[in-house]
Amino acid sequence: MKLLYLLFSLCFLFSNAQENFVKINGSTNVNGFQCVNSKFKNDGSVYSFSEKNLPNIILKVTDFDCGNKMMTRDFQKILNAEKYPEMTIKFIKFTKTQKNYSAVVEVKMMNQSRRYNVEFAMENNKMVGRKNVKFSDFNITPPKKMGGMIVVKDELDLTFSLATKI
């Protein structure tokens, strides 16, 4: 399925050894899809989460890979990569909770900004957070393919994973 199945509206997924990444998992009425961007880097080797130095991550939409050229192309088209080549993830607030961490994260995509409360946990020296978002949060209508036989669901699962030292 081509439709990139998309979409991303924002599902950021981070995790893995020493690689920073944002993953967006979505599904259609036929199957699931996953688009990953692991090409962004911090100036230093790790991200800092101090009160005065919270991450502001800039992602190139064309750096997302959905594991299939057609899906990747559809995903980039849905996010209008030519007109809006970047997506940003800005940490507004970050606090320690009893067990983990809580953050207010602003996601900007296609000139639309949304703030989300995201819970994070330390996993293998990485700050990992997950959030359910929707295409419609960013005024994106989930695409349909093959005359409407394949329908992308509005819901996306976003995972962020950032190498850090706290």
The model's pLDDT over 98-128, given as tens digits with 9 standing for 90+, comes to 889 999 999 999 999 999 999 999 988 889 9
Asked if 157 and 130 touch (Cβ cutoff 8 Å), the reply is: yes
Asked if 50 and 31 touch (Cβ cutoff 8 Å), the reply is: no
50 backbone dihedrals φ, ψ, rounded to 5°? -80, 160
**Of all residues in the chain, what percent are helix, strand and coil, respectively (each to 5)?**
10, 50, 40
Give me the domains of the chain, ranges plus CATH numbers.
21-163 (2.40.128.110)
Asked whether the predicted pLDDT for residue 59 surpasses 50, the reply is yes
By DSSP bridging, strand 112-123 and strand 126-134 are antiparallel
Asked if 104 and 75 touch (Cβ cutoff 8 Å), the reply is: no
**Average pLDDT, whole number, for the chain?**
83
Mean pLDDT of 38-65: 83
45: helix, strand or coil: coil
pTM: 0.81
Q: Which residue has the higher pLDDT, 49 or 20?
A: 20
CA distance 37 to 25: 12
Asked if 161 and 131 touch (Cβ cutoff 8 Å), the reply is: no
**9-18 per-position pLDDT tens digit:** 223 333 334 4
141: helix, strand or coil: coil
Report pLDDT for 145.
83
